[in-house]
Chain A
Amino acid sequence: MAELARDDRLRQGAGISIAERPARACIDLRGDVTDARFVHAVESVTDLRPPSQGLAAASGLLASLLWLGPDEWLVVSETQASGELCARLRQALRGVHAAVTEVGDARIVYAVAGPNARDVFAKGCPLDLHPRAFRPGQCAQTLLGKVSVLIHQVGQDPAYEVYVARSFADYAWAWLVTAAGEYLDGSEGK
């Protein structure tokens, strides 16, 4: 596995917890959502229709489809093997103009949850995560400090998952721990 010392990537405190999630299958999916064959093919493999609405995510038992752009989704799954899921998507999309690209190794996922999670994000994310503006099941590509991230709200509490490019993951972790510093247990202050 990766070299980076990730053993300690779990921090908790008053109203906040931050933890690295285990590696999961991530597939970058490109295609035309107005093409019924594309939609059916994706549905046949994931049981989900690719959301055509911006900032939307569709989640099912097998996988989630996170909207990245008008013709781009991130297919993620914690239960399916990446290679197999890829192969099934490619098979189903045979003859359809689409692209299925494995990107699971390119991303690290952090879980950020708790009543103070929004205040922690507010320190470096310009997006409005207020419950009136951003709800469970929504996702958005935005900034966290100086790096691009994909934020997916997975719970009401609130709970979020943050996808960050592998080489920026150390920065993102340091950023999260610093931003949450005032809430964290045993914080020596960074």
Chain B
Amino acid sequence: MSQPNRTAAGGRIDRERPLSFRFDGRHYVGHAGDTLASALLANDVHLVARSFKYHRPRGILSMGVEEPNALVQLGQGAYTTPNMRATQVELYQGLSAQSQNRWPSLSTDVGAINDRLSALLPAGFYYKTFMWPAALWMRYERGIRRMAGLGHAPREPDPDRYERMHAHCDVLVVGAGPAGLAAALAAGRAGARVIVADDQCEAGGQLLAERFEIAGRPALAWVGATLAELQALPEVRLLRRTAINAYYDHNFLVGCEQLPGERAKELSTVPRQRLWKIRAREVVLATGAIERPLVFPDNDRPGIMLAASVRGYLNRYGVKPGTRVVIATAADDAYRTALDLAGAGASIVAVADLRAQAAGYLPQQVRSRGIEVLTGARIVGTEGRMRVDAVRVQTGASRVRALACDLLAMCGGWMPSVHLFSQSRGKLEFDAGLGAFVPGAATQAVTCAGMVRGAPSLREALAQGFQAGAAAAARCGFDRIAKIECPPTLEPEETPIDASCAFRGTPGGGKQFVDWHNDVTVADVRLAAREGYDGIEHLKRYTTAGMGVDQGKTGNLNALALLAELRGVPVLEIGTTTFRPPYQPLAFGAIAGADSGALFDPVRRTPMHGWHERHGALFEDVGQWKRPWYYPRPAESMRQAVDRECLAVRAALGILDASTLGKIDIQGPDATEFIDRIYCNSFRTLAPGRCRYGLMLRQDGMVFDDGVSARLSEHHYLMSTTTGGAARVLAWLEEWLQTEWPRLRVYCTSVSEQYAQVAIAGPRCADMLAPLTDVKLDAMPPMSVREGSVAGIPARVFRISFSGAPGYEIAVAAGRGVELWTTLMGAGERFGITPYGTEAMHVLRAEKGFIIVGQETDGTVTPLDLGLDRMVAADKFFIGKRSLARADARRTDRKQLVGLLTESPQTVLPEGTQLILEPHDFAAAPRSPVAMAGHVTSSYYSANCGRSIALALVKAGISRLGETLYAPLDGQLVKVTLTAPCFLDAQAQVRRG
């Protein structure tokens, strides 16, 4: 298939490897080494998009990261990715892309009516137009959202793999152009660990686009030799296709590596993108510069391109984007485009130089080829519907000439890519000669080299690179530097650029675009300034200049230079908007990395998990733990299963996996004093071998955690915590020990994972356990602990119960948990042993009114609110004590824990149900405020009670026992009676948390 714009030879593409691809359904052929943009241009496809607001036909403007127009929907189905810059998409076999923001097609787009209606759609139009009536905003917004947004996100889960990489180095060099390569070479030769990151598939930077020479040979020969030397250095790592997107504190930078599309799909073990998190002692930014576009009427037609990009397509890709070319410029640089294109056989219609003079070496070269150079030119307009076909130029007061062409290459000079430097919080300065911002004082260990620093020549860029790399390495201690010869280059002197020509625009008709991506024109900037939005941040938000995919890489400087001129202040005073990460768009998948699917979050399983699974347990998530929820038998409902489990515990024998509870070993001569300060109840009176339920408060007096702690010996305790609180309680203990009480001689060690723990509960538990253990059970009082063996396994036996039924808990080494569990199951068979899960556990403890921290408490509940006054020791210090004396903690109308019984015993209130004091007719007055008296914290059907039971926090609840309250539920009022929070024989409160 023909590629009409492909040159016969030259470029960095592999002409032996044709690649076929589709754009908007049409088949084309490009070559390996092409980008989608270069392959489209090779096929003479300029029209690739419709603009955001006016739906104007748009072509490829640039060759790189800055592209504002050529955004495509890449790939299909689950693989589709919106808003991909065609200039940054490497071509691969079978690539399929669609244009965006057009319907039904690029050439016939209904939305183009907006261009004709543009007088109705000025900057900020949606702030003005859709303000009234306010109630309709939601409807307007839907319509606006449909019109905005360009591409569409895939609906399917992302099938690609992503990963993160952490990397460390002495010197990170960002950019593998001449300055970056020079810096890497200097630092690498010195022996430093170096990472060079570059967003292209090939190193060389701007040299790839030029016909420069270094040391008398083509510049790319120097690039090749430099790469070979870098690759031979063991401590140098070259990251291709890796855009450094973010520069954070402590020289921490984040980049995104694209792996070529074909490869990633073939090998699913290889990710599509890799996020690099790089920590560097020194950073050298050699991020180059972006060519500045010119502002003139209708400067956005397809076929109007940046001049350096035009010659870049020619030199790098062997693509001549046009055959009859007009060049408009405010700098000498564009004359290189004229020379290169003319050399490739294109016809240069004229160079329209916006400056009064063009007397440098390059303009002379162009003139000597017989090409017309118009100085003092003004571009007053362009023509052409889907592609530029003429440029209207005026010089002085002469009449306007229409220059027929199929390509207009424009150049307003160069804008250093200071984005990352600014992200590092470095200060920017304004370089009057360049008419652009350059790096100023740095705040981190970073230096800039090359065009980003405004280097006026290749020679200077190389010199800055070598110097920056050597100095950075030396600061890292690598100063054994062989003298580095900066290779000679031959470069002509250039005429100064005139940046003011770039942004001023041309008086007269036609839209003069400042920001292509967001359709922001000179008129919009003027309007914003006139209406008072004349700060740069206001301008951005009012006009949307600088937003979106390209983040104003081509448009920002012209917009703010124009604003500065309108206000009559220096550009530096206007400043820039904040440069924020990411410098280039990246997939959300890259940020998530491998943290999806099974690796999304760790799932913690107890040693006995497999047994539970095999026996049909359903699981409840408790933090990251999976705990058995209940064990339904075939055809059993949840309610039936939980009822059966609850009845079995009270009537015979139940068994629960309690391994997830936090366990902290506490020892030292001051352990008792320490524990006494941590818990609000007293522990100094606890004898060795005994256990006690402890309540832990924060400094504000609110309940923080609870659990049973055992005094194993004089100076040795084993504390248990809630499952979810295990880590936070240990951190809490360490915080107090390390920061407040460093003199206490106490060591805390987490042993949560060391032990598997099994609770057995029910009237038959001692019958089952006694024959299995050498511990004398009948000599164990309630709330005691003994060491011994159970089923031949070394074990700790606790006589404690969270169900209120007689019970023991047995702890063995985690590795023997299954052995213990299965032995107990076997031994319990004749007693009808029933495994029960967390749901039954919750019901059983609620029957006894035992709280669960995090369910009955929410960080605003004191022990007094829970009716646990007797647990608040008066005769000692503990954390939170003083707060309990505050007037607020003593209020009698605080929410207090009570039991609730519904009028109908079958009604189970949803947890969280609000309670009100008086009946209220919600049908008659659905929106009138009703005072809320409290809420339900726990609610179950209790088979043991033969009815529903609930716990609630109710204002002044303790004084309201016996009163009737109302729970609004599904339009009905449910009557509830307040009771004491215990529903089953209210004696003998043995408890644990």
Seen from chain A, the residues whose Cβ lies within 8 Å of a Cβ on chain B are 1-4, 23, 28, 30, 71, 83, 97-99, 101-107, 119, 122-128, 130, 132-133, 145-147, 165-168, 170-171, 174-175, 178-179, 181-182, 184, 187, 189-190
Instruction: Across the interface, name the chain A residue whose C-beta is closest to B626.
Output: A167
Interface residues of B in 41-93 (CB under 8 A from A): none
Interface residues of B in 578-605 (CB under 8 A from A): 594-595, 598-599, 601-605
Contact between A179 and B163, CB atoms less than 8 A apart:
yes
Least Cβ–Cβ distance between A103 and chain B, in angstroms: 5
Which residues of A are found within 8 Å of B267, using beta-carbon distances? 182, 189
Q: Would A189 and B268 be within 8 Å (CB), given that A2-B607, A130-B193, A179-B163 are in contact? A: yes
Complex CA distance for A170 and B599, rounded to whole angstroms: 10
Complex interface: chain A residues within 8 A of B607 (CB): 2-3, 166
B165 close to A123 (CB less than 8 A): yes
- CB pair B815–A2 under 8 Å, yes or no, is yes
B590 → chain A closest CB, angstroms = 13
- With a cutoff of 8 Å between Cβ atoms, the chain A residues found around residue B168 in the complex are 128, 130, 133
Identify 21 residue pairs between A and B in the complex whose beta-carbon atoms are under 8 Å apart, listed by A's number: A2-B814, A3-B611, A30-B749, A97-B668, A99-B667, A101-B665, A101-B749, A101-B754, A103-B754, A104-B754, A106-B752, A123-B165, A123-B594, A125-B166, A145-B602, A146-B601, A166-B753, A167-B606, A167-B753, A170-B603, A189-B161
In the assembled complex, which residues on chain A have CB atoms less than 8 Å from the CB atom of B754? 101-106
Give the distance to chain A from B665, nearest Cβ to Cβ, in Å.
Answer: 5
B755 close to A (CB within 8 Å): yes
A170 to B601, CA, bound (A): 12
B164 within 8 A of A: yes
A184, B270: Cα distance in complex, Å:
12
Known pairs A101-B665, A106-B751. 16 more at Cβ < 8 A?
A3-B607, A3-B610, A3-B818, A4-B610, A28-B749, A30-B747, A71-B747, A99-B747, A102-B754, A103-B751, A105-B755, A107-B753, A128-B279, A146-B601, A171-B599, A190-B269
- Chain B CB count within 10 A is highest, among A4, A106, A124, A130, for A106
Most chain A C-beta atoms within 10 Å of own C-beta, residue among B599, B606, B669, B750: B599
- A99 lies within 8 A of B668 (CB): yes
Could you say which residues of chain B place their CB within 8 Å of the CB of A83?
Answer: 794
Per-position binary interface string of chain B over residues 800-825, scored 1 when its CB falls under 8 Å from any chain A CB and 0 otherwise: 00000000000001111010000000
A71 CB to closest chain B CB, in angstroms? 8
User: Across the two chains, which residue of chain B brings its CB closest to A28?
Assistant: B749
Q: Is B36 an interface residue (CB 8 A)?
A: no
B745 at the binding interface (Cβ < 8 Å): yes
The 10 residue pairs across chains A and B that have the minimum distance between CB atoms: A189-B268, A106-B753, A167-B604, A171-B602, A99-B747, A3-B610, A181-B269, A30-B747, A128-B168, A105-B814
In angstroms, how far is the closest chain A Cβ from the Cβ of B953? 33
Q: Which of B599, B603, B745 contacts A175 (CB 8 A)?
A: B599
Q: Which residue of A lies closest to B602 (CB)?
A: A171
Which residues of chain B from 745 to 786 have any CB-CB distance to chain A below 8 Å in the complex?
745, 747, 749-755
A123 interface neighbour in B164, B269, B816, Cβ under 8 Å: B164
Q: How far is the CA of A147 from the CA of B163 in the complex (A)?
A: 16
Shortest distance from the beta carbon of B186 to any chain A beta carbon, whole Å: 19
- B873–chain A nearest beta-carbon distance, Å: 27
Bound Cα distance from A189 to B264, whole angstroms: 12
Contact of A97 among B269, B270, B745 (CB under 8 A): B745
CA A190 to CA B594, docked complex, whole Å: 10
Nearest-CB residue, chain A, relative to B605: A167
Q: Is the CB of A170 within 8 A of B605?
A: yes
**Contact of B609 with A by CB under 8 A:** yes
- A128: chain B residues at CB < 8 Å are 168, 279
**B545 interface residue (CB < 8 Å to A):** no
Find out whether the CB atom of A2 lies under 8 angstroms from the CB atom of B818: yes
> Do A145 and B595 contact each other (CB < 8 Å), given the known contacts A101-B749, A166-B814, A171-B603?
yes
B571 within 8 A of A: no
Query: Which residues of A lie under 8 Å from residue B602 when comparing CB positions?
Result: 145-147, 167-168, 171
> Smallest CB–CB gap between A69 and chain B, Å?
10
Selected contact of B665 from candidates A23, A99, A126, A190, CB within 8 Å: A99
Given A106-B754, A123-B164, A168-B604, check contact A179 B594 (CB 8 Å).
yes
* Cα–Cα distance between A105 and B163 once the two chains are bound (Å): 32
A residues near B665, Cβ cutoff 8 Å: 99, 101
Closest CB in chain B relative to A120 CB, distance in Å: 10
Query: Considering the chains assembled together, what is the distance between the CA atoms of A154 and B278 in angstroms?
Result: 26
- In the complex, the answer to whether B599 meets A174 with C-beta atoms within 8 Å is yes
Q: How far is the CA of A101 from the CA of B751 in the complex (A)?
A: 8
Query: How far, in angstroms, from A168 to B603 measured CA to CA in the complex?
Result: 7
Whether the Cβ atoms of B270 and A182 lie closer than 8 Å is yes
Q: In whole Å, how far is B718's beta carbon from the nearest beta carbon of chain A?
A: 10
Contacts of A179 in B (CB 8 A): 163, 594
B165: chain A residues within 8 A (beta carbon) = 119, 122-123
Residues from chain A with a CB closer than 8 A to the CB of B277 are: 126
- Kindly list chain B residues whose C-beta atoms are within 8 Å of the C-beta of A165: 753
Which residues of chain A have C-beta atoms less than 8 A from B28's C-beta?
none
Write out the residue numbers on chain A whose beta carbons fall within 8 Å of the beta carbon of B611: 3
List the B side residues contacting A170 at CB < 8 Å. 603, 605
Q: How far is the CB of A138 from chain B (nearest CB, A)?
A: 15
Central interface residue in B165, B605, B753, by most chain A CB within 10 Å: B753
Residues of A with C-beta under 8 A to B164: 123-124
Cβ–Cβ < 8 Å partners of A187 in chain B: 269
A127 CB, min distance to chain B CBs, angstroms = 8
Q: Mark B190-204, 1 if CB is under 8 A from A, else 0.
A: 000100000000000
B909 part of interface (Cβ distance < 8 Å):
no
The yes or no answer to B23 lying at the interface (CB within 8 A) is no
Q: Which of B724-761 contact A (CB under 8 A)?
A: 745, 747, 749-755
Name the residue of chain B whose CB is nearest to the CB of A146: B602
What's the least CB distance linking A173 to chain B, in Å? 11
In angstroms, how far is the closest chain B Cβ from the Cβ of A14? 12
Q: How far is the CB of A60 from chain B (nearest CB, A)?
A: 23
Q: How far is the CA of A28 from the CA of B747 in the complex (A)?
A: 11
CB neighbors of A among B658-677 (8 A): 665, 667-669
B319 within 8 A of A: no
Separation in Å of the B364 CB from the closest CB of chain A?
A: 54
Residues from chain B with a CB closer than 8 A to the CB of A119 are 165
Closest to A98 in B: B747
* A182 with B269: CB separation less than 8 A: yes
Q: What's the nearest-Cβ distance from chain B to residue A33, in Å? A: 13
Q: Does B831 contact A (CB under 8 A)?
A: no
Q: How far is the CA of A1 from the CA of B817 in the complex (A)?
A: 8
Whether A105 contacts B193 by the Cβ 8 Å rule is no
Measured between beta carbons, the chain A residues less than 8 angstroms from B222 are none
B990 close to A (CB within 8 Å)? no
Q: Considering the chains assembled together, what is the distance between the CA atoms of A99 and B750 in angstroms?
A: 12
- Give the shortest distance, in Å, between B660 (CB) and chain A (any CB): 8
In the complex, per-residue mask of B643-683: 1 if CB is within 8 Å of any chain A CB, else 0: 00000000000000000000001011100000000000000
Q: Is B608 an interface residue (CB 8 A)?
A: yes
| Complex CA–CA separation, A127 to B669 (angstroms) | 37
Check if B212 is an interface residue, CB within 8 A of chain A: no
Given the contacts A3-B607, A170-B605, A105 and B815 also touching, CB distance less than 8 Å: yes
Q: Is the CB of B167 within 8 A of A122?
A: yes
- Nearest-neighbour CB distance to chain B for A165, whole angstroms, equals 5
Q: Once bound together, how far apart are the Cα atoms of A171 and B602, in whole Å?
A: 5
Q: How far is the CA of A56 from the CA of B164 in the complex (A)?
A: 28
> Closest approach, in angstroms, between the C-beta of B272 and any C-beta of chain A?
13
Q: How far is the CB of A82 from chain B (nearest CB, A)?
A: 9
Give the docked Cα–Cα distance between A179 and B595 (Å). Answer: 11
A45 to chain B: closest CB distance in Å? 18
Q: In whole angstroms, what is the CA distance A165 to B277 when docked? A: 26
- Residues from chain B with a CB closer than 8 A to the CB of A122 are 165-167
Tell me whether B815 and A145 are in contact (CB under 8 A): no
Q: Is B625 an interface residue (CB 8 A)?
A: yes
Decide if A132 touches B193 in the complex (CB within 8 Å): yes
Cα separation A106 to B267 with both chains bound (whole Å): 37
Whole-angstrom distance between the Cβ of B507 and the nearest chain A Cβ: 57
Distance of A128 Cα from B235 Cα, bound (Å): 14
